[in-house]
Amino acid sequence: MAAESFSVTLQDVASAAGVSTSTASRALNGRADTYRISPHTVERVQQAASKLGFQPSQTARSLRLKRSGLIGVVVPDIANPFFSAITRIVTLAAEAEQYSVLIGDSREATEHEERHLQQFLARQVEALVVCPVGIEFSHLESIQRSGLPLVLVDRCPGPSSLVRVTSDHSGGAAQAARLLIQQGHRHIGVLQGLPGTLPNQLRLEGFRQQLEQTGLSLPDEMIAGDNFTETSGYQAACRLLDEQPQLTALFAFSTPNAFGALRAARERNRSVPDELSIIAFDDSPHASFMATPLTTIAQDIDALGTRAVELIMNQLKTGKPPGRTKHQIGVTAIQRASVTKAKL
């Protein structure tokens, strides 16, 4: 029958139990033995506490203990299923360890990302999980140098001392290339995402290398698109379809990009996959219910999130940064219907 837990202080509990705040504190924190508080007193204090509905002020505890019990999470867009899945994994793990989670949405802008991180630092977060916007990393490096546990997920720099978890973008792109080549495709267009980012670059390189190993090439005019959205995918696909008549397949760097391509193809009466094969990086739970179920290169979001959580929790427990900084998670090709043999 907790009364208002609002503004019931340790002092109130102590008075109610007829003891000092120090005794009350120790009684409630299981320090009775080490500080020789009698069982009888402990009992009285606990009763008083529960009668008054005492909730210790985390604010005061944080100040005194220098432990905020807070973990910060910053992502470019919470509403994006990829990031909300990562967020969820981190959140559930944090809760299991009695941490609370601060969330920040950077709206794909490094500037906001930095602002959130500053805020979180001022709030004394004990660890940070960041899905960076992916252009600039210096602010993250200075945070890691300060000793605060920090793990990056997804769009990370290549060589770096930053602790980071990413999918095998290059390998995944190579898989996509092999899949298309096996089906006889020779003229393949790429619907890329945000050009400056590493995942984009790695996918591009992995794809190109695989093509070149097979004696094919990826000319610049076969690459279009400027970010991971449906709109970008649509516009890029329009350009490619209109300007490259010999094109028989598209590799979209995100499922939204692929949706855009689907729309563009539909408008042009190019049937998928009969006249145009499409493969997409990233999977979507809906991919299998689509008109032509998408063949995809799926990131293992669960593994990404779980690894990030492990790295963070380990640092939190041992106080030491992990030995390895770069953690790569494999991707898997999911063959559905959007890729078939090229018509010659």
Partner DNA sequence: TATGGTTGCACAATCGATTGTGCAGTCTCG
Partner DNA sequence: CGAGACTGCACAATCGATTGTGCAACCATA
* Interacting residue ranges for DNA, rule: CB under 7 A: 7, 9-11, 18-23, 25-26, 28-29, 31, 35-38, 40-41, 54-57, 59-61, 63-66
**Alpha-carbon distance 167 to 300, whole Å?**
8
Q: Which C-beta is closer to DNA: that of 2 or that of 92?
A: 2
Q: How far is the CB of 11 from DNA (least distance, A)?
A: 6
Q: How far is the CB of 34 from DNA (least distance, A)?
A: 8
41 binds, among DNA, a second copy, none (CB under 5 to 8 A by kind): DNA
Task: Provide the CB-side half-sphere exposure for 167 (13 A, CA).
Answer: 28
Q: Which C-beta is closer to a second copy: that of 99 or that of 251?
A: 99
Q: Which C-beta is closer to a second copy: that of 223 or that of 262?
A: 262
Whether the CB-CB separation of 80 and 155 falls below 8 Å is answered with: no
By CB under 8 A, residue 95 contacts a second copy: yes
Whose CA is closest to 174, among 212, 207, 147, 128? 207
Whose CA is closest to 221, among 197, 254, 187? 187
**285-304 residues near a second copy, rule: CB under 8 A:** 286, 289-291, 293
**Alpha-carbon distance 297 to 279, whole Å?**
8
In sequence order, what are the beta bridge partners of 128? 72, 150
With CB under 8 A as the contact rule, the residue among 30, 34, 36, 59 that binds a second copy is 59
105 binds, among a second copy, DNA, none (CB under 5 to 8 A by kind): a second copy
With CB under 8 A as the contact rule, the residue among 16, 52, 102, 240 that binds a second copy is 102
Whether the CB-CB separation of 184 and 344 falls below 8 Å is answered with: yes
By CB under 8 A, residue 344 contacts a second copy: no
**Alpha-carbon distance 305 to 90, whole Å?**
7
